[in-house]
Amino acid sequence: MSHGFDTLAIHAGQDPEARTGAVIPPIYQTSTYAQDAVGAPRQGYEYSRSGNPTRDALQECLAALEGGPVGLAFASGLAAEDTLLRAACKPGDHVVIPDDAYGGTYRLFAKVAERWGLAYTPAKVSDVDAVRAAIRPGVTRIVWVETPTNPLLGIADIAALAAVAHDAGALLVVDNTFASPYLQQPIALGADVVVHSTTKYVGGHSDVVGGALVAADRGLGEELRFHQNAMGAVNGPFDAWLTLRGIKTLGVRMDRHCDNAERIAAYLDGHAKVGQVIYPGLPSHPGHEVAAKQMRRFGGMISFRAAGGEEHAVEICNQAKLFVLAESLGGVESLIEHPGRMTHASAAGSPLEVPGDLVRLSVGIETVDDLLADLEQALG
């Protein structure tokens, strides 16, 4: 029987525990497991890097929410990305990446994977022809997209890019961190692997760092599982438990994030102290139609250009009070940041450099009038 999203978020992988009936999956804070005889581990559990029941519960839930056969939980989003790259690529291969990828993802490609022999080309993922042109036939192994992108909220047409990638014999990888599986399910649109920084909306409470991969194909999923164990960047039991606790409310949180973001985007749009407002829910956003086609709603992230330039953008970030000045996103509390000097500083001087007058908001689930009042005083 198939269930709705919120039912899966609360129950998938989370049956009451067999021994005691504990309704919540226990935190199996153990590194190893007693074996009944040599070569006879109980229910396959032998060592927690290879398998842990709390992590298994999270993995099963993530797979159910993204609609793939295999879900895997990692120590961070970047650990998940690194594991995927090394499982799917070898030195000499090529990857197409977004021209406004998350700075840490860009750094992984530019400073780590390239040294290891993996070439990459940044392309505008909202432009299907640009992605097609960036592919090197026979060499490109992955077309990697974020949608919406971080921080410019570009929208990639997942179904169209899946066709482009598959025509070239490449995999389509979608970083679904900004949307969360509640708003967008890339596998149903043709993606081969979904990536998450579960640190963000999936965990949702800014109290745990984690990452995830969900594969559309069981064979690829098992390959990724092998690398998860062989490389070792696993999610710990307590972190997995915290993430699962957050996941239960993902649907209701996302709806409130979207409600608040829609109100704030409308307020900023046309404000005298604000230049361009970048929010996929605004009809003026160039990706609005594609976003409306592939997303349930438009998410909780808003970027905008400060009318007074870079110093004004920095001042807005410094003046905000309820919006906490901090990196990261996707928690219940609202955050504000200056991407050029904070999250995306590692992209300075590269093709992925972001505009200096850009401010990024992660709109939380507080009372929206309080958030609007804080922005009004911060804009100066």
Ligand X SMILES: Cc1ncc(COP(=O)(O)O)c(C=O)c1O
Instruction: Draw the binding track, 50-79, toward ligand X (x: CB under 6 A; -: no contact).
Output: --------------------------xxx-
Q: Which of 82, 99, 100, 175 binds ligand X (CB under 6 A)?
A: 175
* Distance from C-alpha of 104 to C-alpha of 125, rounded to nearest angstrom: 18
Contact by Cβ (8 Å): 237, 52: yes
- Shortest Å distance, C-beta 330 to ligand X: 8
Interface with ligand X, residue 209, by CB under 6 A: yes
Q: Which of 59, 83, 177, 180 binds ligand X (CB under 6 A)?
A: 177
> Please, which residue, 185 or 368, has the CB nearer to ligand X?
185
Token digits of residue 364: 């939380």
Select 107 or 132, whichever has its Cβ closest to ligand X: 107
Binding status of residue 83 toward ligand X by CB under 6 A: no
Residue 183: what residue type? L
Question: Whose Cβ is closer to ligand X: residue 25's or residue 211's?
Answer: 211
Nearest distance from residue 173's CB to ligand X, in Å? Answer: 11
Closest-approach residue to ligand X (CB) = 77
**356 is written with which tokens?**
């200096």
Question: Residues with catalytic annotation?
Answer: 49, 102, 175, 200
> According to the binding rule CB under 6 A, does residue 88 interact with ligand X?
no
Please work out, in degrees rounded to the nearest 5, the angle formed at the alpha carbon of residue 149 by the alpha carbons of 131 and 330: 155
Q: How far is the CB of 358 from ligand X (least distance, A)?
A: 15
- How near is the Cβ of 177 to ligand X at its closest, in Å? 4
Distance CA 257, CA 265 (A): 12
By CB under 6 A, which span of 25-33, 57-65, 101-109, 311-319 interacts with ligand X?
Answer: 101-109
Minimum CB separation from ligand X for residue 312, in Å?
25
Selected from 121, 197, 260, 334, the binder of ligand X by CB under 6 A is: 197
Taking the CB of residue 84, how many other CB atoms lie within 10 A of it? Answer: 26
Binder among 25, 98, 203, 211 for ligand X (CB under 6 A): 211
**Which residues of this chain interact with ligand X, rule CB under 6 A?**
76-78, 102, 104-105, 146, 150, 175, 177-178, 197, 199, 209, 211
